[in-house]
Amino acid sequence: MKNITVPLQAQKRIALVAHDNMKAGLYDWVRYNIGTLREHILFATGTTGAILERELGLEITSLESGPLGGDQQIGAMISRKELDFLIFFWDPLEQLPHDPDVRALLRMVNVWNIPMACNRSSADFMISSPLMGRVYPRQVPDYSAYRSRRIATTSVAGSDDK
């Protein structure tokens, strides 16, 4: 499959997500990196966004809580090219009722080649990269052939469509 270039602008659109047991760690990370994060456009799932906005005074667009659809909202934003970067401190030791939503989000990150950090170390390396503050020529698979493929159809009993 060929790739196309979809540039990530110098001002990144970053989503911040943390499972309950990881919220304190994400809070500490955001506080530590607040100067850099203020240069970007921030989104967060419900509870995480409320905590970061209230405690740190950051301007954040809050979405639904993860279990109420926030993870899926972020995935949709990725597929619409409205999000450039994901910081997702997820809890590897806790099984959550919305695990299928988390898996779907992680799938969108990979389908659209979005940078993602899932722990403090990877987040530190990514946010301190010289690429963070400039335009980056992100390579995304060219899905045009997939979108235009022919799909075999079968007639449905009682259908008037021919």
| Window from 6-10, 22-26, 92-96, 122-126 with minimum mean pLDDT | 92-96
- What residues are labeled active site? 71
Alpha helix ranges (H) inside 2-153: 23-32, 34-37, 46-56, 70-79, 99-111, 120-127, 144-147
Sequential DSSP letters for 122-159: HHHHHHTSGGGGS-EEEEEE--HHHHT------PPTT-
58 sits in which H/E element:
none
What was the pLDDT predicted at 37?
A: 96
Q: How do residues 6-58 score in pLDDT, each as one tens digit?
A: 999 999 999 999 988 999 999 999 999 999 999 999 999 998 999 999 999 99
The one-letter amino acid at 26? L
Q: Which two tokens stand for residue 24?
A: 């304190």
What was the pLDDT predicted at 98?
A: 66
The answer for 4, left when phi > 0, alpha when psi is -120 to 50, beta otherwise, is beta
CATH homologous superfamily of 3-147 equals Methylglyoxal synthase-like domain (3.40.50.1380)
Does residue 77 sit in helix, strand or coil? helix
What is the band of 93 on the pLDDT scale with cuts at 50, 70, 90? confident
69 sits in which H/E element:
none
What is the band of 157 on the pLDDT scale with cuts at 50, 70, 90? low
